[in-house]
Amino acid sequence: MRGRFITLEGGEGAGKSTQVRRLALTLAARGREVVTTREPGGSDGAEAIRDLLVSGATDRWDCVTEALLHSAARRDHLARTVWPALDRGAWVVCDRFADSTIAYQGYGHGLPVADLETLTRLTVGDFTPDLTLILDLPAEDGLTRAGGRGGGEDRYERMGLDFHRRLRQGFLDIAQRHPQRCAVIDATQSVDAVAQAIDAAVIGRLAP
């Protein structure tokens, strides 16, 4: 039986990486083979592209170049990591996927969403996540959290509050347009409460 593909989305500091790990442990305890991964990244080629995207000056790339780099990384990630895992029956839990390109390069940078959706279809075909969990919190709170993480992968975090407010609205709009696939999770709650809400959404949407 083919596995399931679950993506976690949201702005900077929403807690996606923590919840990816929590969800993977929960699914593994229920007897699933679980693969955790991320975008950009998740394969050797995609990780090399990640280094170009998440570090350096905020104006290092224009928005079209960003979208193309993300899409190239996504295609390699799918071909080398996600699709083989799903084919063998594993459940794949991914920190970001195509919705982030719509939110960041579309709502954030102003590229036409319709053009980005066309690029997504070219990149992934008709493949979509079985469930997308959107971790939602005010942009100000997310940037405050993200500012305490340290490290050099902060290029997007430095793009300004208005940019991040547009991102938040973008993710909420995506959830409204795709209610069968998306579940919005209140990420202002404690880590444990968010994990419980995620688990409830997974059971409610994907239980046999």
CA distance 109 to 58: 12
Residue 148's pLDDT is 58
Out of 51-55, 76-80, 111-115, 199-203, least confident range? 51-55
The pLDDT tens digits of the residues spanning 32-51 come to 999 999 999 999 999 999 99
Residue 207's pLDDT is 80
Mean pLDDT of the chain: 94
Q: Which of 114, 65, 99, 121 is nearest to 170 (CA)?
A: 99
The pLDDT tens digits of the residues spanning 136-181 come to 999 999 998 887 565 667 888 888 899 999 999 999 999 999 999 9
Q: Which domain holds residue 92?
A: 5-206
pLDDT bracket for residue 5 (50, 70, 90): very high
Residue 156's pLDDT is 83
Is the pTM here over 0.85, yes or no? Answer: yes
Under 8 Å CB-to-CB from 206, ≥6 apart: which residues? 4, 6, 130, 131
**The domain spanning residue 47 has which CATH number?**
3.40.50.300
Chain position carrying tokens 């102003």: 110
CA distance 176 to 88: 32
Total number of domains constituting the chain: 1
Residue 110's pLDDT is 96
The pLDDT tens digits of the residues spanning 94-119 come to 999 999 999 999 999 999 999 999 99
147 to each of 40, 140, 154, how far by Cα in Å? Answer: 20, 11, 9
Q: In what side-by-side order are the strands of the sheet with 34-38?
A: 34-38, 91-95, 5-10, 131-136, 182-186
CA distance 92 to 130: 10
